[in-house]
Amino acid sequence: MDVSIIIINYRTPQLIINCLDSIYKFTSGISFEVVVVDNDPENGGGELVRKSYPEITWIDSPSNDGFGIANNRGMAVAKGKYFLLLNADTLITDNVIYRCFERMNVRTDIIACGALQYYADGSPMPFYQSFNDFRRTFFILPISNVVDKIVKKFYPEPEYADPDQHDWLVGAFIFLRREGFEKTGGFSDDFFMYGEDVEWSGRLGKLGKLCYFKDCTFIHLENNNPFRRTNISWINRFSTQMQISNFLWVRKQYGIFQYLLLIVHYIMMIPVIYGWKMAFNLKKDGNPFTELRTQHIYVRKTRVILKYFWKTLLLKKGLYKIKPEENIDLLTAVHEQR
């Protein structure tokens, strides 16, 4: 078997059928199998997918432990020389899977490769080019060229001789050698959602290069989930679950100091964001206490981050999944709809 394609189902049967339609339509020149791991067998609608594609391997997860653990379950039974981890909300538009297979056969220095994401309208989807590119976004600082230069000095871009090489691969499309899973154990079982692909890339990168190829692309539809961002602003850039996962990744990969630096930064920014906004409100209409909702949301999210402080600091084992009452994005979105 050349390639094992692993897809995670969470109540998205039609998206998976559409994804599989595109795979079977455009993929040729290789032998492949499809492994679907269902994170919600009771409500996942798996019978619709199995009826359309009875030849696929189907795994019912005993519980919804998130993206990474589900992929590990799929990779554990996969038979292929290579694995392709593919989101359910994706579409293949040409023979990209064979192209990755062929490229990896030739480039033995590469442990895993990715494909560039495109929106449904055909426009390219931006992505973080490196670990430090991603880390710089965690800091809530004034928008200024001077500030940007200072931050980039502390978190510079890596320099690679290989123009295709990158720090990490987006989890929506990861094409890797079997040994990449066998030697690393796959995704960390601490991550529920978000950050798991970044953390795993750090470990995969020690085995070989991680590369993107400009001629390898796919469509990412970005299916909605209850942990997505709402009320996005300068100070609220990430969802609560994203932040818990991001901070866990920083603690794992960069140590205690970098983690504490972020914690101190977020706490110190509370009076700053309130002071700035209240001064703006006072100048605008004479009432400093109007339009502070964004600041209130920031404080609520920071409180959740602090709830996980000791667990993250001490790297306690267990799934870092926020509780329903901690999902500030979903709670504030529901409040707006009422």
Note the pLDDT tens digit of each residue in 166-195: 999 999 999 999 999 999 999 999 999 999
User: φ and ψ at 321, to 5 degrees?
Assistant: -115, 125
Domain count, the chain: 2
pLDDT tens-digit series, residues 97-154: 999 999 999 999 999 999 999 999 999 998 888 999 999 999 999 888 999 999 999 9
> How many Cα neighbours within 13 Å face the side chain of 8?
23
pLDDT tens-digit series, residues 42-96: 988 999 999 999 999 999 999 999 999 999 999 999 999 999 999 999 999 999 9
Q: Examine the domain organization and report whether 278 and 173 are in the same domain.
A: no
- 238, 88, 226, 243: CA torsion to nearest 10: -30
Burial category of 264 from C-beta neighbours within 10 Å (exposed 0-12, middle 13-18, buried 19 and up): exposed
Q: What is the pLDDT of residue 222?
A: 73
- 140, 144, 150, 153: CA torsion to nearest 10: 90
Strand partners, 84: 5, 175
Q: Examine the domain organization and report whether 183 and 319 are in the same domain.
A: no
Could you give the CA distance from residue 271 to residue 299 in angstroms, rounded to a whole number? 10
Is residue 318 domain-resident?
A: yes
Is residue 107 domain-resident?
A: yes
Q: Examine the domain organization and report whether 113 and 22 are in the same domain.
A: yes
- Give the percent of the chain with pLDDT over 70: 96
Is residue 152 domain-resident?
A: no
Helix (H, G, I), strand (E, B) or coil at 82: strand
Residue 326 has what DSSP assignment?
A: G
Is residue 161 domain-resident?
A: no
Q: Examine the domain organization and report whether 64 and 172 are in the same domain.
A: yes
Q: What is the pLDDT of residue 226?
A: 62
Q: What is the pLDDT of residue 229?
A: 61
Q: Examine the domain organization and report whether 69 and 194 are in the same domain.
A: yes
Could you give the CA distance from residue 127 to residue 272 in angstroms, rounded to a whole number? 29
Q: Examine the domain organization and report whether 191 and 247 are in the same domain.
A: no
CATH code for the domain in which residue 184 is found: 3.90.550.10
What range defines the domain where residue 322 resides? 240-337
Q: What's the average model confidence in pLDDT over 261-277?
A: 96
Last residue of a domain, one of 220, 249, 264: 220
